[in-house]
Amino acid sequence: MKLGSFPFLLFLFHLLLLLLLGLSNLSALFLFPVLMHYYHLGVTGAAISTVVSQYLVCFLMIWNLNKRTILSFLSIKGLHFGGYLKSGGFLLGRTLAAVLTITLSTSMAAHQGALAMAAHQICLQVWLSVSLLVDAQAASCQAPSLFNHNLPLLLSSAAKGDHSRVKEIALCSLKTGLITGICLAIILGVSFSSVATLFTKDVEVLATVRSGLLFVSGSQPINALAYIFDGLHYVAGAVSSAFMLYAPSIVGLSGVWSALTLFMGMRTVAGYMR
């Protein structure tokens, strides 16, 4: 492999990003106990720690980028927002739909009271953590092709007109994603009660957390397929958000998690239809 080859440069970029994010996480882990317990700032200390760690990695990335190129402030007219929105509008809409749906779920859980809110945050943290494992797996089909280092594996096959190869890669990703989702569902179903005790020892909160076991573990296969498909989030986010506005008032916290499961299910269906 040549020193200047694309895979090597890509490896260096991801290594640098990993190191900077690791430094950010370590700084947050250091600041959490210092500000929350030593200085008795509580939740405020947690917020300050998170913001400081994020600004740290941001400034380090800008500093590192500034060593490799010349950074300058552009005028508003020179930013070409229209071009950015044209090329990245779908990604922006997809991200907003997902973020707004999860934010709305937190809001509706807060309306159920402090107990439900605490349980919801524990369930959400576990749900997102294991789901992101599948998201990382889904990115494997975007790895550089051995035959064309400038194109991802899937895109490289499509560009060459090798549709059988494209279908093979897609089916392999779906199968491995589904298997991963089923395994995660089984693991969470068995260990979720024990995992929840890592967050709190409050008996009432733990009892409420266990009520979300079915949704957190049972939705993992759906989550896996949704991340693999990477479907159309616009409709999925709108329908699940509308459901979330009314369901919690009828069935409580279970309504919030029913809406999140609906969101991931519709995301899967949208991806299949596309």
- Would you write out the chain's pLDDT as a tens digit for each of its 274 residues? 444 455 555 566 667 777 888 898 899 999 999 999 899 998 899 999 999 999 999 998 888 888 877 777 666 666 677 777 776 666 677 677 778 888 888 888 888 888 999 999 999 888 887 777 776 666 665 554 444 444 456 666 666 777 787 778 777 777 888 888 899 889 988 898 888 898 889 999 999 998 888 888 888 888 888 777 664 344 445 556 666 666 676 667 777 778 777 777 776 766 666 6
196: nearest Cα among 208, 214, 184: 208
- Whole-number Å distance between alpha carbons of 96 and 225: 20
CA distance to 91, 127, 184, 185, 186, per residue, from 224 (Å): 19, 12, 9, 10, 14
